[in-house]
Structure 1
């Protein structure tokens, strides 16, 4: 079972996987730290009417003002008030809850970001070898765990994870241009540029600006879903290659095929640039 601390990052990351987003009105069920909580919202003119049930079990109503794709509301509690910020995501909503005491003083130490999924939508199972996102640079990370997990991590965590993959396995990953393009799209959106980014870009024929722009165009044109499906298909091949590369004594048929695949890719002229060009 996925650790509850990973639910929020998974929900946020899913926004990049699903091209279409539903509007805010609806019924949402809490996950992770919000388990047992509930949000209900319906359209009311330019705003929203709703109710939220938090950890104390009390159902509190609110009227929220829209602000683009988000909404904001304030509710009274027995010992102060709560400011609520609703941000819609691919399969649900993230609710930031900021409390104020009876004197109106901000209690930032008690602020929370809670994840909710739309009622009737099941979260996908965590992928095999899934790891929670690193919160700081890591010395070593299993290559297969990185490949399985980075799509669900914030960009900075992915940048740290990439640098923790052994160099020989980073070289193997770079032979898979769709995966490398997807990794670059993640790394290039990190708030800080790491040393590993230069290596990830080396020989790929693109800059960060070009990668981010290309993916943005896919999202506009509708090609993003196809790109992600193709990345997932290539990921399955890469996972086998990485597994066989870790243990060179394996004689299984899939490892023979993996060796042939690696040899073919080693002489291929494909790069992240040519891979991204398929989706223009």
Structure 2
């Protein structure tokens, strides 16, 4: 009887220890996931040898995990606007931040100088931010990123177009965040496209669009603007950032925590039920041995 009792006590101790371990895991996992989600990531913009960003060779911002990246304070300007013009970044901007990133300014040679205008309008045609007039080359392709304006949703985060000899415009149209349905007023021709789309048409005075305003050239219609390849320019190849897997957040951690917590609670309940059952068996056998 003593041998059986000792065995049952050891089993019970193991079960209790396991239950405590499950409870500790249930507490630690949500805390770890939360710590990962609140991690900040460095987003770096490099100007290259032919330009500057805010008067510097590079510019960095810290953005929390799944935070929104704003380019309001990021402007790449060529050192010599008579020789080069800014065409965009080396890769598509990821506005929802989930990892480190580096973006390098891209330039093209100025062949036939022109300008284009960028406007930030509400659906009534009112300007929400100061418009820009930017130098470029006729026939060149440019990509422009939208400004972040508090309380508004923009129709596209970035837009591309081909520069005409004159009259090229890129209009970003904003609607109130509390009333996101587009209600265009008379006299306002918004640029079509969903948030995140590029290659939308640029609006000209009178509501017309630039030829090739979709931002892509038809076969054989190559722009005279000569794009600078990374290996042919002082910019060099864009720096790549390798992320340590230990620094990469669990993208689905927040979604998994709820399901994991439920499984842990079920496991703890099962262990507790088993412990009660074993205790009842021990008590029953003790009583039976005394009879």
TM-score class, shorter-chain normalisation, is under 0.3
Q: What is the TM-score of this pair, normalised by structure 1?
A: 0.21
More helix as a share of residues: 1
Which protein is bigger by CA-based radius of gyration?
2
Higher RCO by CA contacts (8 Å cutoff, separation 6 or greater): 2
